[in-house]
Structure 1
């Protein structure tokens, strides 16, 4: 697990209030610390590009529809390459694959900078670059996630996932705020350039990781070459079907995100239910509430990272998420709605931590990349399906009714899954 010559630093047991705060045990392992630091560097930078691309598309076209088309152009390669990338991650050295994909993401960010600095007005070029970057990301994310279980002991997987997820959630909060401040001061090209430089810096940390060759379940020895085609992708889905705990962990996330993610209704809520506060102010608070709650949950990960009943934690977290979303829909006050959404963010963080730990523990190393590929598709696709469902329901029933109903459906569906399929609630970490 550790690189030669780099022993783990022993730390005294945490007591009192320190035990409730972020569980940093995984950072004692040098290899994980490097992987985590590369994620830290790019978390904010990637959000700069996430803001800059739709802004530039809108500036060029003056149409929100084209912003939506550009989003779709990024989603399709993300889904396809996440599934295929998981199979690739199971068939070659993960460190090498991380270097290739990180370099690819950095190169596309540099090309974004070049076209913006040159004053290009081509939406097609933007969509092609976005599709290429999301394809690289689709391979990179499952590879990075699958590597975590090779770098820390299984008992520290929840803590490791909390550290990674907290950084990502922090980037979702700080990145857009920083982009909003920099655009009028520096301009779009500089946002792309900052992201590219951050990605180049992260390559150094990835370069210093140990080799992570694929496991070989046939017994021919670690690193034995394997294919990464459609047959291997299909084998990943058969593996999920054969392991009910994995299947239920994916279904739990689908229930939570598809039925309960209300972000498509935030503009309507800001304009109608909470317009007295100022539409822009209300909209910003609603969008920031969930990631802020997730950050708070990560900072307090010591309260739950040592729990062994991972299945029950997922069930409880999804039910808490649904209840919080329903509470936000019932709130007549903007501040109560934001408070409930923040609590939902805490619950979402807990769910993500333990779903990730279940996946990394139950799946063998030979299958872990493909499982993370499916995980990426679920995480990326679920909220987009929710946007369609909630947007339609909000137009027909009203925004607050749709939000409340979605939260209630999450609670009912998760309870039904937990009662009828006991594998998840019985699952306990070794």
Structure 2
């Protein structure tokens, strides 16, 4: 294959060359995601070990939901009013402290169950505060024309942790115990805090308002008035609610007599995402990002349904990998639309709303999957949710045609945001 063809396929590393802060966030995120995914797998495994109940594992989603909603919305308003670097640093340190609590509890002669739920709620609250600051920072440190490439590279960062973390967590927990997995998480957050200290300050725009319910409502009204944005939130929420069965992976592994493959099941979706990310050069040429959102979500749902209908572990892993590729494609479309269209003064608040669509869906999805598995069985929780996902995405696409027709070269909000960024780079008032 010629060099030009490789360039068209391989990821665009332009954002790496454009700024030091992007590189720091890339490395920080890689370390954080790896350690976080270790804990993300160890925590439900520990609950399963202590209770043996799919409902108890699925209840994690219910515990995490309210803090995520409250602090996600407040974190979005806060990100528009304070230094985003400071927000990221403080919340990252707080997440490290919670990881230390998990470690201490795991080292007890008889680990307690209730601290696991308390920590899960605390992690949800701090993540809700942090994510709007992280997401809203990207459009400031990356040139407008490189936003799609930055989204693809951000996906690679995430997928590294999502593959290596779960794959290693299953082995570590099996042979060294939950405490060993939590130790890796603590070390990861320590390294992440050190990297965050080197980020450049990111103060709010001039005249930024203090966080308030009125400000949050202003962001919500803006999102509601933009069918394209509304569509990205709705599609993601529906896909995750109906087709996010991660909480019941351990029970499917038991049914398939493949407990040894549990870590691979958690990592399979990330492998599919990584393959798509490593061949993401084509994404820089995509203009119809709304169509990408819908197509990716439909593939995700079909693949999850296929996993539930499969009788062999290797076919299940293949379906989960395909699901991951679909989710990655949909995520690239969503992130690009958000970064291309949302004005700087509302970016934090809109990122807070994005946190709800990105995170509330999986939390509710865990509750749905655990409840449905308890009532009708593990397999039906997979294939039934996957088919419901496809149906809901089709309905939303029909109700929101502007999402399907979105074009980065003609959309008014995208053109306005591009002009603002060019004015900023030229030193003129936006």
TM-score range, shorter chain: 0.7 to 0.9
Find 1:196's aligned residue among 177, 180, 186. Answer: 186
Pick from 1, 15, 23: which aligns with 2:4?
Answer: 15
1:379-427 Cα distance to aligned partner (Å, 9 max, x none) = 2221333344455656777665664454444334333333342211121
Say whether residues 1:360 and 2:355 are aligned partners.
no
Question: Which residue pairs with 1:235 in the alignment?
Answer: 218
Match of 2:16 in 1: 27
Q: CA RMSD in A?
A: 3.1
Aligned mate of 2:282, from 303, 321, 326: 303
Matched residue, 1:259: 242
Quick one: which of 85, 96, 118 aligns to 1:128?
A: 118
What TM-score, normalized to structure 2?
0.83
- Aligned residue in 1 for 2:100: 110
**Aligned partner of residue 33 in structure 2, secondary structure:** helix
Q: Is 1:79–2:47 an aligned residue pair?
A: no
Match of 2:154 in 1: 164
Structure 1 residues 365 and 165, CA gap change in structure 2 (3 angstroms):
same
Asked if 1 retains the 8 angstrom alpha-carbon contact of 2:81 and 2:211, the reply is yes
Counterparts in 2 of 1:172-183, with a 5 A limit?
A: 172-183=162-173
Distance verdict in 2 for CA 1:318–1:133, change over 3 Å: closer
Equivalents in 2 of 1:299, 1:125: separation in Å? 39
My pick for the range that moved more, 165-174 or 181-190, is 181-190
Paired positions, count: 407
Q: CA deviation at 1:148?
A: 0.7
Change (3 A) 1:332 1:66: closer
SS state at 1:293 partner: helix
Per-residue Cα deviation, 1:38-71 (whole angstroms, up to 9, x for no partner)? 1011111112222344455566667666555555
Contact kept, 8 Å, 2:57 with 2:247, in 1: the verdict is: no
Give the drift of 1:230.
2.2
Cα distance in structure 2, aligned partners of 1:329 and 1:60: 26
Deviates most, 32-41 or 175-184: 175-184
The corresponding residue for 2:423 is: none
Which runs of 5 or more residues in structure 2 are unaligned? 410-430
Gaps of 5+ in 1: 1-12, 216-221
Is this contact kept in 1: 2:223–2:229, CA < 8 A? yes
Alpha carbons of structure 1 residues 199 and 339: separation in structure 2 relative to 1, 3 Å? same
Checking the alignment, whether the CA contact within 8 Å between 1:214 and 1:365 is kept in structure 2 is no
Q: Deviations over 1:256-298 (max 9, x none)?
A: 22233344665565455xx3xx332465554433222112111
Give CA-to-partner distance per residue, 1:163-199, whole Å, 9 cap, x none. 2222222212221232233346554444333322221
Contact 2:58/2:366 (8 A) holds in 1: no
CA–CA separation in structure 1 for the residues paired with 2:120 and 2:368:
25
Q: How does 1:34-73 map to 2 (within 5 A)?
A: 34-57=24-47, 67-69=57-59, 72-73=62-63
8 Å CA contact 1:99, 1:203 repeated in 2: yes
